[in-house]
Amino acid sequence: MGSSKTAQALMTKFNYEEKGKRVLLVKPATDNRDDTIDEEGRVHTIVRSRIGLKQEAVALAPGDSIGALYRSMNAKEPVDVIICDECQFLTAEQVNEMKDLADESDVPVLCFGLRADFMTQLFPGSKRLFEIADSITEIKSVCRCGRKATVNARFDENGEIITEGDQVLIGGNDRYEGMCYRCYRNLIRRRDNGR
């Protein structure tokens, strides 16, 4: 959280399009917080950064095939690159498909997402990406203390740190804060010791 990964994804999309390339922008349907519904009732999947950049994207439900989507779109007009935001919510099978597309169709696949959840556990999509990605570049974020943020701490409505619950709870700055492991552990200790 707070690393500008979505802004980076959208700027990368812009850079490809500026060179005349066709970009397939996707994101898991799990993250529907910025989706909109038009007057005809159609849902529009939106990738939105905290600084206000936004683009419409294709939503991928857990059972959807990125390979089938790519082949369908590529048959109409060549797709030059696939960019996925919030890739931590992909299934391992979808990550495998993206790797196959990159290798077999020679299409660049760029994934942007979080490594671990609020309990410091890898997300399934992130785990699979770490296992098979050709390269991984970390986009750094900073803790309020100034150290490198490595944890996405979750908070309840009273501002109390949460360390158990469902792995996925869609939210933004209202629910999550990127912080270093030391600050994360200190908040947990304070909570557990009654401050």
Position 1 pLDDT exceeds 90: no
- More confident of the two residues 51 and 29: 29
Which CATH architecture describes the domain 5-139?
Answer: 3-Layer(aba) Sandwich (3.40)
Give the pTM.
Answer: 0.84
Cα–Cα nearest to 99, from 66, 55, 53, 60: 66
- More confident of the two residues 131 and 121: 131
Per-residue confidence at 195, pLDDT binned at 50, 70, 90? low
Both tokens of residue 12?
A: 């990368």
pLDDT for 161 equals 83
d(CA 33, CA 35): 6
pLDDT for 170 equals 62
Considering the candidates 18, 40, 77, 86, report the single residue annotated as catalytic.
Answer: 86
Amino acid, single-letter form, for residue 181: Y
Active-site residue flag, 86 = yes
Instruction: Supply the DSSP symbol for 89.
Output: G
pLDDT for 172 equals 55
d(CA 93, CA 121): 19
Instruction: Supply the DSSP symbol for 95.
Output: H
Other CB atoms within 10 Å distance of the CB of residue 37:
9
Buried b (16+ CB within 10 A) or exposed e, 71-83: eeebeeeebbbbb
